[in-house]
């Protein structure tokens, strides 16, 4: 039976409250024998991640095609059926409302019955689509969500990416990162994921929302979440690569003791066909400043060569794992690229700014 999930707000200048909402994924009566031993992480394009943590399944964004104006229920069903070979979807998250991230997210909430977390505007869109109002939890930043006895999510008000030498001045579309802690018998696993993110001064400028409420500076918000979790950082950072991601990395990597970098938000420029396979590769040398910074800090990069590549994160770190069964269900080869022949990144040469 699904339990009530506890959601509270970290103490900030704007909110300090505790509320309870209906959700899923277990509760305090979970036996220690059921504690997860790892997180299985599956990337399936753009910023789509599926995390299976024991019997808890978490999905971020879930776009199944781009460009697209409307959800594609048939493809969502096919992807969901494939993911169910290794887990399920109990929680649906959205980083921000944009066509390459959010078009299909309400359909995921509808098909799975999962609790959906996103901005207030995203919830309003979901309700219009047919999701019950109590099945979408509007976020503002600073929330602490106990997904079950072992897994906790803290919501970080972040900032959307922007072009070279530009500044959002505290504005821009509502964007959230998610800091996870998962207790295993051996250690607490920690990872932070963002589906966008600017660099430079935008990380240190307070973000004022459309209602005139100060939601804090992104790096300050992340620091608060880390402190609230009782940790000194997070081992895995899933971020970028957007323009200026090296600016994020210069602060995030050393300040939060990052041990592994998992880049995403690639393979979407010029169109995204989830059935065709990754249509251009992630190339470290397209971001030489980021590559060198990570080398200098002894932080390896782990990234996919095709959709539905999977990784396991546990006490020993991160490793790639076989995901042939899921790929077969999607019509993709067990390893390598394809079936569509890969091209080059349409933004090659523009991934870092001269001023970075």
Helix-strand-coil percent breakdown of the chain, rounded to 5? 20, 25, 55
Q: What range does the domain containing 225 cover?
A: 15-27+38-329
| Mean pLDDT (whole number) for 27-39 | 73
Specify if 208 maps to a domain.
yes
> Cα–chain-centroid distance for residue 169?
24
Number of domains in the chain: 1
* pLDDT for the residue 11: 43
Specify if 7 maps to a domain.
no
Q: What is the pLDDT of residues 99-131, one digit of tens each?
A: 889 999 999 999 999 999 999 999 999 999 999
Specify if 19 maps to a domain.
yes
Specify if 249 maps to a domain.
yes
Specify if 349 maps to a domain.
no
| Mean pLDDT (whole number) for 219-235 | 97
* pLDDT for the residue 270: 78
* pLDDT for the residue 171: 65
Specify if 4 maps to a domain.
no
Confidence of residue 13 (pLDDT cuts 50, 70, 90): very low
CATH number at residue 121: 3.60.15.10
User: Given a cut of 60, is residue 151 above it in pLDDT?
Assistant: yes
DSSP 58-70: EEE----EES-SS
User: What integer best gives the mean pLDDT of the chain?
Assistant: 89
Quote the pTM value: 0.92
Specify if 325 maps to a domain.
yes
Q: What is the pLDDT of residues 182-220, one digit of tens each?
A: 999 999 999 999 998 877 788 888 888 878 899 999 999
The burial of 99, by beta-carbon neighbours within 10 Å (0-12 exposed, 13-18 middle, 19 or more buried), is given as exposed
Q: Collect all residues with Cβ–Cβ distance below 8 Å to 139 and sequence separation of at least 6.
A: 117, 118, 119, 120, 155, 176
CB atoms within 10 A of CB 62: 31
User: Given a cut of 90, is residue 294 above it in pLDDT?
Assistant: yes
CA distances from 42 to 108, 234, 273, 306 (A): 16, 19, 17, 11
* pLDDT for the residue 5: 57
Q: Are 177 and 217 in contact (CB under 8 A)?
A: no
User: Given a cut of 60, is residue 34 above it in pLDDT?
Assistant: yes
Report how far residue 156's alpha carbon sits from residue 260's, in angstroms, rounded to the nearest whole number.
20
| Mean pLDDT (whole number) for 31-52 | 93
What residues are paired with 91 via a beta bridge?
A: 58, 115
Q: What is the pLDDT of residues 154-179, one digit of tens each?
A: 999 998 887 777 776 666 789 999 99
CB atoms within 10 A of CB 210: 10
Checking DSSP bridges between strand 91-93 and strand 56-60, what pairing results, if any?
A: parallel
* pLDDT for the residue 38: 98
Structure tokens at 234: 């997070």
User: Given a cut of 50, is residue 23 above it in pLDDT?
Assistant: no
Specify if 339 maps to a domain.
no
* pLDDT for the residue 268: 81
* pLDDT for the residue 263: 95
Cis peptide before 67 (omega within 30 of 0): yes
Structure tokens at 326: 């899921």
* pLDDT for the residue 8: 63
């Amino acid at each position: 039976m699904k339990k009530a999930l506890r959601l509270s707000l970290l103490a900030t200048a704007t909110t300090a409250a505790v509320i309870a909402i209906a959700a899923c994924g277990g509760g305090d009566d979970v036996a220690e024998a059921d504690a997860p031993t790892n997180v299985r992480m599956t990337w399936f394009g753009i910023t789509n991640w599926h995390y299976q943590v024991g019997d808890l399944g978490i999905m971020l964004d879930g776009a199944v095609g781009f460009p697209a104006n409307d959800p594609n229920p048939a493809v969502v069903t096919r992807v969901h059926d494939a993911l169910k070979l290794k887990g399920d979807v109990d929680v649906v998250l959205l980083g921000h409302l944009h066509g390459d991230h959010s078009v299909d997210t309400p359909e995921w909430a509808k098909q799975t019955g999962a609790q959906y977390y996103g901005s207030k505007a995203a919830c309003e869109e979901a309700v219009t689509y047919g999701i019950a109002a109590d099945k979408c939890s509007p976020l503002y930043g600073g929330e602490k969500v106990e997904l079950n006895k072992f897994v906790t999510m803290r919501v970080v008000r972040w900032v959307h990416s922007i072009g070279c030498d530009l500044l959002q001045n505290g504005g821009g579309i509502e964007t959230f990162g998610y800091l996870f802690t998962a207790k295993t018998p051996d250690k607490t696993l920690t990872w932070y994921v963002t589906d966008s993110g600017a660099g430079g001064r935008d990380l240190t400028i307070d973000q004022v929302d459309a209602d005139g409420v100060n939601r804090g500076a992104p790096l300050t918000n992340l620091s608060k979440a880390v402190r609230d979790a009782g940790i000194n950082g997070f081992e895995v950072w899933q971020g970028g690569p957007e323009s200026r991601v090296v600016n994020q990395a210069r602060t995030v990597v050393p300040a939060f003791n990052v041990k592994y970098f998992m880049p995403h938000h690639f393979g979407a420029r010029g169109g995204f066909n989830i059935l065709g396979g990754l249509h251009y590769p992630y190339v470290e040398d397209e971001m030489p400043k980021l590559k060198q910074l990570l080398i200098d800090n002894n932080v390896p990069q782990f990234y996919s060569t095709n959709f539905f590549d999977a990784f396991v994160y546990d006490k020993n770190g991160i490793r790639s794992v076989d995901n042939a069964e899921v790929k077969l269900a999607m019509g993709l080869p067990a390893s390598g690229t394809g079936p569509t022949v890969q091209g080059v990144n349409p933004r090659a040469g523009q991934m870092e700014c001269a001023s970075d």
